[in-house]
Structure 1
Amino acid sequence: MSEKPMLLVAAAALVDADGRVLICQRPEGKALAGLWEFPGGKVEAGETPEACLIRELEEELGIRVSQACLAPFVFASHEYESFHLLMPLYLVRRWEGRPENREHKAMAWVKPMRLGDYPMPPADAPLVAWLRDLI
């Protein structure tokens, strides 16, 4: 068995007052382009998943989130062809600013029961059942 590099990615399920979750469509030119995902990104060397998420949400959506508002929820562990992805998903119900699309092809606020209507990367899809059951 060959060793695959481990990729740590932190993601957020932003939940609005109506119980909808924000998902973003991957832009053209990126791996898995066109699929829908939870906002977030790669954890850099020396960075915690929480610090990564605070940085990524500011960069991708223009919102400010405090660490106290990041609630660890569930994680995905998925083997892709060239790497293994470990992705903690945090629930976020409070943030400053209005999410704006800065890096993705599109954004959508979706009721958990409708998340299955949006094609997602293999690592993200299993998280939908958790959101459906607990939000």
Structure 2
Amino acid sequence: MPNTAAEAIVATSQTQKTVHVAVGVIVRNGRVLIARRPDSAHQGGLLEFPGGKVESGESVQQALCREIAEETGLVLSEDALEPVIGIRHDYGDKCVFLDVWLSRSARGEPEGKEGQPVGWFEPDALRDEDFPAANRPIIRALQLPRQLAITGDIPDAIKGLERLERALVGRSEGSLVVLRAPHLDQPQYRWLATEAVRLCRDAGVGLIVHGAETLCEEVDGARGLQVPWRVASQLTERPVGADLWFGVSCHTSEQLRHAERLGADYVLLGNVLETLSHPGQPGMGWERFRALAADAKVPVYAIGGLGPEQEPEVTARGGQGVAGIRFWW
């Protein structure tokens, strides 16, 4: 039985003649190494994260170290590689499974050993249209934080704003906060969200509004929209532009597929474990989370009974990171 999300996909891929590709996200001084594909190659001329096919008898880590050395001259350590995301993609003429791993300790200076241009890019400068379609979830995973903070109970807009100001202390720059306040009516929520944008901007944090599909149009400065499943189930297309984050709360494989069709940038999946708010109700568990995350084509946050200390368990099972309330609110 497969032990990891990647192994689960690879086992399935072997019956579907899917090419297993080891992909390296090589980070140095906050920038990531990017190569350009030869014009003669599949998807030629586009940018890519370096890597190559996993050969028979190789582990993905062995394959990645070999491919990176052959392509760029950099030396990676197998033990220092961290899982990022696994992506199955059907181009029509070719099916691939991208097994993506992160290295922060590559040794040497990169060069295009096969004549390809290589260079260091800021993650926020990476654009979908410059990459093959299968690479695009990798861009999302790089640009999204490992923790997604969600506000707790907000029965009153003014007190909620005061609570948010206190909670933002200590949040790292570049974090994202989801402003969830289902007990407020729409005018109260819009007022709170508008004021919260200012607080978050001052703290270097992006604010994601939560609820109706029109909220990003109503709250200037919001960095994105997250919708509960009841809203997502009624949508037929992505409700926000490509310059904003769009997230969906999911619980099943069918809901994940719908979120992907809508063009979600990420999903929340859970509850994984039993939560304090629903005692006695077991979550889906780690194995179910692993299986669903393995089949997802977007970054997946685990939610429900989790804190930052479980982040390694989540990423080892194919997740982007942890989403929740109690670890910060």
TM score, norm. by length of structure 1: 0.90
Query: Residue 133 of structure 1 corresponds to which residue in structure 2?
Result: 144
Partner residue in 2 for 1:95: 106
Q: CA, structure 1 residues 83+117, in 2 after alignment: closer, same or farther (shift >3 Å)?
A: closer
Greater strand content = 1
1:69 CA displacement? 1.6
Query: CA offsets per residue over residues 77-128 of structure 1, 9 Å max, x none?
Result: 1112133211111111002211111125311211111111761011101210
- Which residue, 23, 26, 49 being the options, matches 1:14? 26
Larger helix share, 1 or 2: 2
- In the other structure, the counterpart of 2:160 is none
1:58 to 46, 62, 69: 69
The 8 Å contact of residues 25 and 104 in structure 1, kept in 2 or not, is answered as no
Partner AA of 2:64 in structure 1: L
Per-residue CA deviations over 1:14-71 (Å, capped at 9, x if unaligned) read: 1112x11111000121111100110000001111111100100110011111111211
- The SS at the match of 1:41 is strand
Structure 1 contact 13–21 (Cα < 8 Å) conserved: yes
Unaligned runs of 5+ in 2: 1-14, 147-329
Aligned counterparts of 1:62 and 1:5: Cα–Cα separation in 2: 30
Higher relative contact order (CA 8 A, sep 6+): 1
CA distance in 1: counterparts of 2:24 and 2:120, whole angstroms: 13
**Partners in 1 of 2:129 and 2:122 — Cα distance?**
11
| Residue pair 2:128, 2:136 contacting (<8 A) in 1 also | no
Say if 2:45 is the partner of 1:28: no
Aligned equivalents of 2:131, 2:27: Cα separation in 1: 18
- Does residue 111 of the first structure (1) align with residue 122 of the second (2)? yes
Aligned to 2:17: 5
Q: For residue 15 of structure 1, give the secondary structure of its aligned residue in structure 2.
A: strand
Distance 1:117 1:79 in 2: 17
Q: Which runs of 4+ in 1 moved over 3 A?
A: none
CA distance in 2 between partners of 1:16 and 1:134 (Å): 17
Q: Is the 8 A contact 2:47 2:130 kept in 1?
A: yes
Q: Which runs of 5+ in 1 are unaligned?
A: none
d(CA) in 2 for partners of 1:53 and 1:15? 15
User: Does the 8 Å CA contact 1:10/1:40 hold for their aligned counterparts?
Assistant: yes
Is the aligned partner of 1:79 residue 2:90?
Answer: yes
The share of aligned pairs that are identical, in percent, is 36
Rounded to whole Å, the distance in 2 between the matches of 1:134 and 1:57 is 26
Higher alpha-carbon deviation: 5-14 or 97-106: 97-106
Report the counterpart of residue 254 of structure 2 in structure 1: none
Give 3-state SS (helix, strand or coil) of 2:142's partner. Answer: helix
Work out which of the two has the higher radius of gyration on C-alpha atoms and give 1 or 2: 2
Aligned to 1:46: 57
Q: Tell me, in whole angstroms, the C-alpha distance in 1 between the residues paired with 2:18 and 2:90.
A: 9
C-alpha contact 1:23 1:38 (8 A) present in aligned 2: yes
Q: 2:110 touches 2:118 (CA, 8 Å); kept in 1?
A: no
